[in-house]
Amino acid sequence: EAGVAQSPRYKIIEKRQSVAFWCNPISGHATLYWYQQILGQGPKLLIQFQNNGVVDDSQLPKDRFSAERLKGVDSTLKIQPAKLEDSAVYLCASSLDYRDRVDYGYTFGSGTRLTVV
């Protein structure tokens, strides 16, 4: 089966600019996650969708970050305006259902590496 697709692979922007990342999960996966992975740290969950609804966005900096999954399939994560500390890899993951344990079919994409200068 095709994996989790993310684009772009790399992005360099200046601070205060905006940027958007796209994720297409595995077909049929109801749950989609966005993670932020800062260099030297483990991934941190930003937001979790179940179909087109938000399950958990408690760690999302809502003053500058937004995410949507309008049709319950692909998703977009946006940062506006970007700060230097937003430099990180943004990972998307999907699973069949959020009630699945993380060891069942929890698949990560390759990520988008964002550099803010």
Partner 1 sequence: GDSVTQMEGPVTLSEEAFLTINCTYTATGYPSLFWYVQYPGEGLQLLLKATKADDKGSNKGFEATYRKETTSFHLEKGSVQVSDSAVYFCASSGGSYIPTFGRGTSLIVHP
CB of 52 to partner 1, least distance (A): 19
Cα torsion 103, 91, 56, 2: sign: negative
The token pair at 103 is 């060891």
The token pair at 60 is 């999302």
For residues 50 and 52, which CB has a smaller minimum distance to partner 1 in the complex?
A: 50
- Provide the binding-site residues for partner 1, judged by CB under 8 A: 3-4, 33, 40-45, 48, 56, 91, 93, 98-103, 106-111
Gyration radius of the chain's alpha carbons: 13
Q: Rounded distance, CA 72 to CA 49, Å?
A: 8
Helix (H, G, I), strand (E, B) or coil at 105: coil
For residues 35 and 65, which CB has a smaller minimum distance to partner 1 in the complex?
A: 35
CB of 40 to partner 1, least distance (A): 6
For residues 18 and 104, which CB has a smaller minimum distance to partner 1 in the complex?
A: 104
CB of 81 to partner 1, least distance (A): 27
